[in-house]
């Protein structure tokens, strides 16, 4: 049987959906390096360095900061399996698909979900958190820092953390889309445990979920039996952390950790402040260009919009799915469709990590403009691009 290696034809696709993002050549080289044993001393050195770099990125001193073997959802399940007992009351902010997914996971592990249900495209306020705790004695608060289904950026993280700790609860956070693209300050915000994914702003192929837990969270998980074998952090800790004899738990995804190590090196080489500024600058340019083309944002408040994920309604008269297909076929650009209640109604455009550059913003706007001109929506296909260029010029002057 002749098998067509279709992946060889996909090398020139520009990834501007909600993830994965474009992967740098250096990361691809790292992932293709020779595989060594998961207990080899050289690999253990790579593990230690990856942990140290993850701590810098998470802005934490947490000893238990590691990549879980699995995509971002495995990090979510790891936290629930280790920190939530049956009948524990857990406040879950549901303002999009992924808040709903957290609630589903908590329920599957026997926890009692105390929901804060919000309009999609909005974020929770400290006062709403206070009210939820005043009505219930809860074990934890779980929220999404960057809601990928709506483009909403949760604010007031430090104040929310203070409220959670005043109620002797755990502050658990999904940072899948935010880590590496905007500030995530684990220690300063009082976050007890968080998880992320490699395929968004870290620009690594999907397959790992960086997590971090502070000592308060670790003490709580050691006092209970994890409700999962694969995600049992009490066992995994003995493989990952210094001071143990590196006890075998499962075979680590060695080449994926190579890739994460190289991606983290690139992140720190760029510098966190510079990296976050790059995402903000490109977001401002794309937003201006899209609005000139007639797009409107799902998230109404400017300060609550993510810099790396743009969820937008299209101009009237356009079939979003067909238009995305045309852009993919004609320009090799991937754009994401809406999720949940926005399915078929909106786009999700990613500017994540390696996919967030001035050149890529220009390419996106030019190609979208060409398509809108064909549909008679605009007369000048370059107006979005020109608007974005003006934003860049103003920011550099």
Please give the CATH number for the structural domain made up of 272-396: 3.90.1150.10
**3.40.640.10, 3.40.50.720, 3.30.300.210, 3.20.20.450: which CATH number matches 25-269?**
3.40.640.10
What is the mean pLDDT of the segment spanning 222-243?
89
CB 93 within 8 A of CB 99: yes
pLDDT tens digits, one per residue of 186-216: 999 999 999 999 999 999 999 999 999 999 9
In 136-271, alpha helices (H): 157-166, 186-189, 215-222, 233-240, 254-270
pLDDT score, position 245:
78
What is the mean pLDDT of the segment spanning 335-358?
96
9 band by pLDDT with thresholds 50, 70 and 90? low
pLDDT score, position 262:
98
pLDDT score, position 243:
65
- Compute the distance between CA of residue 153 and CA of residue 241 in angstroms, rounded to an integer: 32
Beta-carbon neighbour count of residue 299 at 10 Å? 22
What is the mean pLDDT of the segment spanning 167-184?
98
CB 346 within 8 A of CB 338: yes
- For a pLDDT cut of 90, what percent of the chain falls above it? 91
What is the mean pLDDT of the segment spanning 165-194?
98
100 band by pLDDT with thresholds 50, 70 and 90? very high
Sign of CA dihedral 211, 215, 220, 224: positive
Which residue in this structure is represented by tokens 């103003």? Answer: 394
pLDDT score, position 225:
81
Closest CA to 355 of 188, 196, 199, 203: 203
The alpha carbon of residue 326 and the mean position of all alpha carbons in its chain are separated, in whole angstroms, by: 27
pLDDT score, position 33:
97
244 band by pLDDT with thresholds 50, 70 and 90? low
pLDDT score, position 18:
97
- Token readout for 107 is 């329920």
Does 305 have pLDDT greater than 80?
yes
241 band by pLDDT with thresholds 50, 70 and 90? confident
Does 223 have pLDDT greater than 90?
no
Does 84 have pLDDT greater than 90?
yes
Does 11 have pLDDT greater than 70?
no
Sign of CA dihedral 55, 202, 81, 164: positive
What is the mean pLDDT of the segment spanning 285-309?
98
Give the start-to-end residue ranges of the domains of the chain: 25-269, 272-396
- Compute the distance between CA of residue 184 and CA of residue 55 in angstroms, rounded to an integer: 11
What is the mean pLDDT of the segment spanning 32-46?
95
pLDDT score, position 226:
81
Does 20 have pLDDT greater than 90?
yes
pLDDT score, position 74:
98
pLDDT score, position 6:
64
What is the mean pLDDT of the segment spanning 314-339?
95
pLDDT score, position 72:
96
64 band by pLDDT with thresholds 50, 70 and 90? very high
- For a pLDDT cut of 70, what percent of the chain falls above it? 97
- Compute the distance between CA of residue 81 and CA of residue 91 in angstroms, rounded to an integer: 16
Beta-carbon neighbour count of residue 383 at 10 Å? 18
Q: Average per-residue pLDDT in the chain?
A: 95
12 band by pLDDT with thresholds 50, 70 and 90? confident
- Contacting residues for 15 by C-beta, under 8 A, at least 6 apart: 21, 22, 334, 350, 355
Q: Lowest mean pLDDT of 5-19, 71-85, 287-301, name the range.
A: 5-19
CB 182 within 8 A of CB 5: no
């Amino acid at each position: 049987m002749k098998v067509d290696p279709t992946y060889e034809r996909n090398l020139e696709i520009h990834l501007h959906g909600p993830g994965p993002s474009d992967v740098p050549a250096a990361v691809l080289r790292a992932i293709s390096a020779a595989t060594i044993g998961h207990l080899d001393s050289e690999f253990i050195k790579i593990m230690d360095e990856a942990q140290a770099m993850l701590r810098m990125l998470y802005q934490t001193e947490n000893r238990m900061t590691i990549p879980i073997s699995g995509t971002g959802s495995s990090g979510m399940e790891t936290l629930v399996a280790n920190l939530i007992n049956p009948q524990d009351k857990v406040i879950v902010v549901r303002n999009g698909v992924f808040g709903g997914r957290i609630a589903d996971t908590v329920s599957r592990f026997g926890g009692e979900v105390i929901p804060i249900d919000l309009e999609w495209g909005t974020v929770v306020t400290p006062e709403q958190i206070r009210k939820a705790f005043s009505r219930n004695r809860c074990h934890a608060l779980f929220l999404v820092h960057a809601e990928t289904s709506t483009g909403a950026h949760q604010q007031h993280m430090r104040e929310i953390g203070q409220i959670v700790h005043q109620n002797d609860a755990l502050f658990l956070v999904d940072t899948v889309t935010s880590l590496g693209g905007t500030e995530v300050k684990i220690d300063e915000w009082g976050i007890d445990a968080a998880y992320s994914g490699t395929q968004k702003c870290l620009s690594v192929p999907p397959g790992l979920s960086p997590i971090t837990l502070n000592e308060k969270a670790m003490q709580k998980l050691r006092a209970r039996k994890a409700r999962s074998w694969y995600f049992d952090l009490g066992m995994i800790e003995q493989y990952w952390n210094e001071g143990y004899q590196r006890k075998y738990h499962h075979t680590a995804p060695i080449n994926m950790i190579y890739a994460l190590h190289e991606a983290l090196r690139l992140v720190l080489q760029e510098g966190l402040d510079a990296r976050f500024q790059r995402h903000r600058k490109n977001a401002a340019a794309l937003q201006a260009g899209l609005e000139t083309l007639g797009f409107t944002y799902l998230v109404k408040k400017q300060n609550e919009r993510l810099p790396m994920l743009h969820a937008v309604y299209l101009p009237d008269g356009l079939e979003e799915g067909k238009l995305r297909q045309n852009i993919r076929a004609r320009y090799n650009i991937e754009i994401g469709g809406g999720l949940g209640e926005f399915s078929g109604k909106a786009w999700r455009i990613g500017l994540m990590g390696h996919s967030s550059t001035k050149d890529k913003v220009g390419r996106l706007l030019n190609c979208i403009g060409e398509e809108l001109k064909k549909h008679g929506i605009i007369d000048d296909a370059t107006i979005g691009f020109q608007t974005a260029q003006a934003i860049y010029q103003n920011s550099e002057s």
